[in-house]
Amino acid sequence: MQEIRVFDGEKLRASLFNAGAERLFVTFRQRVAVAGEFEARGPVKNMTRHGYAHLHIQPRKNDWYVNSETQALSRSLKDLTKGYKDVSAMGFSMGGYGALRFSSALRLNRLIAVSPQYTIAQGVVPHDRRRKEAAAFDEALGDLVSFGRHGVRGVVLFDPFRKMDLNHALYIQAVFPDLQLCRLSCGGHPASQVIREGGSFWDLQSMLHTGPLAAARVLGLHRERRRRSQTYWQRLARVARQCGRPQLGAAADARLERLAADQENGQ
């Protein structure tokens, strides 16, 4: 499928696939361990085959999409989205922040934000210990109150046992009241890890067009997948002991042993 570079800067890039569709699905690059280059990216085929154009936005560095090209990209997105009757998005961590930052420019209708950040500006969100990137962050240019589409609907997924992610989610909902908070216990960061371990992201993506996009539906998927998720039971055992609940920790260990035995027996 042909890639169309709708924005091709030195610091930010936006690639469009299946441009002629009526609806647009947008994804954002999350923070990477080694930054400095754009990624080669194809379309999300699960969405394009269901009648969506796919737009992927990425920064060259881990600058949280806030740099000297941010405003130019916003103008480009405003022009681009005039041609689509519906725009939805999904973003993880830094990508979730990017979706919120450009939500107004994108005319975003629905969003799945997985463990997103409200800001990385120093001293704003409690327990946020990002320092290296925060030092260069332009708080005004990255302000979600100024640049977000406050009526966007959807869900914010986060693990409530990760205090920093919980705090970011609460700040986000204060600015975007139509985003429902979805607490995926022991989901990790990003909080969709248990869901992904038991299947694929299509189960989440499909909620953007089949409806309803509701916290209860995502939580139900998490609960279904966690029953056979070793990741979930390992985290639950650790959290239970940290919270002074050794019996729950022992029960989680026992469940983990049964899952390991089932896997060994090919069940």
Summarize the confidence of residues 239-252 as an average pLDDT. Answer: 95
Question: 211-226: b or e for each residue (b if 16 or more CB lie within 10 Å)?
Answer: eebebebbbebbeebb
Range(s) of the chain covered by CATH 3.40.50.1820: 3-226
- 66-115, pLDDT tens digit by residue? 999 999 999 999 999 998 999 999 999 999 999 999 999 999 999 999 99
Question: 111-145: b or e for each residue (b if 16 or more CB lie within 10 Å)?
Answer: bbbbbbbbbbbeeebeebebeebbeebeeeebebe
- 50-63, pLDDT tens digit by residue? 999 999 999 999 99
Pairing mode, if any, of strands 110-114 and 12-17?
A: unpaired
3-226 folds as Rossmann fold (3.40.50)
Instruction: Give the span between the Cα atoms of 172 and 150, in whole angstroms.
Output: 10
Q: What is the pLDDT of residue 153?
A: 96
* Band of pLDDT at residue 211, cut at 50, 70 and 90: confident
pTM for the model stands at 0.94
